[in-house]
A and B are shown apart, each in its own frame.
Chain A
Amino acid sequence: MVALAVAGFRRYATYRQATAASTFTNSVFGYLRCYVLLAAAAGSGLSVTAGYTPQQLATYCWASQGLIGMVMLWGWTDLGDRIRSGDIVADLLRPVHPVASYLAIDLGRAGHASLTRFVVPMVVGAISFDLYTPQRLATYPLFVLSALLGVVVCFGCRYLVNAAGFWLLDVRGVNLVWLFASSLLAGLAFPLHFLQEWPWLVIGLWVLTPFPSILQAPLDVLVERGSVAQLLGVVAGQAAWAGVMLTICWYVQRRAERKLVIQGG
C-alpha cells in the first residue's frame, strides 16, 4: 500500500510542466475570486462578512485555489478510462481491493500536490494580499487532518463518478454534473456561509451532501471560523463522510463486478 502511494507521488512528480500550468491557472483564479470576495466584503460595509474578516476571506480564497489541486477536484479519469478500455480486468486480478489501491495512489498524488499545487497559490496570494495567519497552534495539525479527509471524501466522489462507467458507456454527463456540484456546493465559488440567511439550506448541504467536506471544511479550519470545539465538530463530520463515501465505493465496486461486461479486447 505504501509502495502504491509512493508510486502515485512519483508519477505526478514527473508531470512538471502540467503542474506549473495548473498552478498558473489556479493563481489567475485566485486573483479573480479574491478581488470579488473583497469587493463583496467592502460592499457589505461590515467588518465581518458572513463570519469572515477581509483577511480571512483572502486566505479562504487563495487556500481554496491551492486545495483544488490537492483534493484533485477535476480531471481524474484513471478509473473511467480503464473501464472503457477494459484494462480494469487487470485491476480485479490484483490482491489489493481496487478502492484501496486507487486510494493509496491518490494519497501519494495528494502528497505531491500539497508540496507544489497548494504552496504556489498560497505564496502568490501572500505576496499580493494581506492574508490571515492562524492564531491558534492547534489549527495547523487540525488543518492537515481536515485537508487529508477532504482528499478522501473527494476521492470517494470521483471514484463513484468514474464507476458510473460500469453502467453508462459515456460518462461525460455524469462528469459535468459532478463538475458543477463540486464547484458550487463545495465552497469554491463562494463560501457557503454567504447563504446564512437560509440556515436550513446550509445545514442541509453540510449534513446531506459530501461537498462541503471537500473544501469548505478545511478552509474554515484554516481561517479559524468558529471555536476549536466547533471546528473539531466540522472535522468529525468530514470523517463521517469519508467513511460513508468509502463504504459506498466498496459497495458500488462489488455490484459492478457482478455485472461486469468486458469492453475492448
Chain B
Amino acid sequence: MEATRRLGIYRRLMGAQVRSHSSYRASFGLDLMANALIPLLDVAAVLAMFRVTKTLGGFTALEVVVMFGFSATAFTLADLAVGNIERIRIYVRQGTLDAILIRPLSVLGQLVTLDFTIRRVGRLVVALAVLGFAVSKANIVWTPGRMIMLIAGPLSGAVFFSAIFVGTATVAFWWIDSGEFANGFTYGGRDFTSYPITVYSGLFRRVFAYSLGFAFVGYYPSLALLGRADPLGLPAWVSWSSPLVALATAVVASVVWRFGVRHYRSTGS
C-alpha cells in the first residue's frame, strides 16, 4: 500500500517533467532528434578509426561495434534511469538539497525523478538497434548461454554504470565544486568501454579495466558472444562474470551513497 502510494508520487513527478519539457515544442522536437542521433555519432567516431586501419587492438570493425553496442545500450539505460544524479553537485552548491532531504521520500528517488528526461529514450532505441545490427552480422554461433548473455550483458552493464553514476556523484558531498570530475568516470567510462581493452596499456588499463571493472561492460560480454579467447590471457569464465561484477559495484556504490548522505553538511547559502 505504502509502496504503491510512493510509486504514484514518483510517477506524478516524472509526468510533470515530461509535460514541462514538451511544452516548448520546437526545442523538444530538436532535442528528441539530437538524442536519437547521439549513439549514431558515437559509433561514427568509433568507425572513423577503421578508415585508417583494418583492426583495432586485434579486433575487426564489426567486433568492435558489438562491444560498442553493449556499452551504448548499458550506458543509455543507466543514463535514463539515474543519469540525473549528476545534477546533485548543483543542488549541493545551491543548498537546495536541504529541501530534498526533509521531504518524506528517498533522496535518491527524488533526485532521479526531479529532472527526468523522456528525450533520452531516443538514445536507447538507437543504441539497441546498433547492438542488434552488429550481433546479427557477426556470425555468432548461438548457444543458450550466449542468448542469456545478450540480455544479461547490457542489463549488468546498466547496473554497473548506474553504480558509477551514483558512486561518483557522491563526491559532491565532500567536494562542493567538483565540476566535471565525475564525467571522467561516467562519460569517460562510456568511451573506455566502446573499444577493446587491448588498445589500452599500463596502469591506465589496470585501473579502468580491472580495478574499476569497466572491462566487464563491453569487452568481456562481447568475447563471450563472439566465442573468442581473451588475448590478454584470462580464463574463459571471466568473460561470463559481468553480472557478478555489476552486483559487487552496486553494493559498493550503495554503501558509498549512504555514507555520503549521512555526512552531508549544508553549504548554508
Nearest B-chain residue to A178, judged by Cβ: B34
B94 at the interface (CB under 8 A from A): no
Q: How many A-B residue pairs have CB under 8 A?
A: 131
Tell me whether B179 and A17 are in contact (CB under 8 A). yes
Q: Is A184 an interface residue (CB 8 A)?
A: yes
Whether the Cβ atoms of B184 and A15 lie closer than 8 Å is no
Residue contact B179 to A22, C-beta cutoff 8 Å: yes
Taking the complex as formed, is B27 at the interface, i.e. its CB lies under 8 A from any CB of chain A?
yes
CB distance from B162 to the nearest CB of A (A): 20
| A119 vs chain B, min Cβ distance (A) | 17
Q: How far is the CA of A39 from the CA of B58 in the complex (A)?
A: 9
- Contact partners of A189 in chain B: CB under 8 A: 45, 48
B259 at the interface (CB under 8 A from A): no
Indicate if B199 sits at the interface (CB-CB under 8 A).
yes
The reply to whether B179 and A36 contact each other, CB–CB distance below 8 Å, is no
Contact pick for A195, options B28, B30, B51, B57, CB 8 Å: B51
Knowing A35-B201, A173-B30, A176-B35 are in contact, say whether A25-B180 is a contact too (CB < 8 A). yes
Tell me which residues from 26 to 66 in chain A have a Cβ below 8 Å from any Cβ of chain B.
27-29, 31-33, 35-45, 49-50
Q: Output the least CB separation between B189 and chain A (Å).
A: 9
Residues of A in contact (CB 8 Å), total 45
Do B31 and A173 have beta carbons less than 8 Å apart? yes
| Given A168-B26, A173-B30, A174-B27, CB of A49 within 8 Å of CB of B52 | yes
The contact sample of 26 A-B pairs, CB cut-off 8 A, is A17-B177, A18-B180, A19-B179, A24-B180, A25-B180, A25-B183, A25-B184, A25-B188, A28-B184, A35-B204, A36-B56, A39-B195, A39-B199, A42-B53, A43-B54, A45-B53, A169-B24, A170-B28, A172-B31, A173-B27, A173-B32, A174-B30, A180-B34, A180-B38, A180-B41, A194-B48
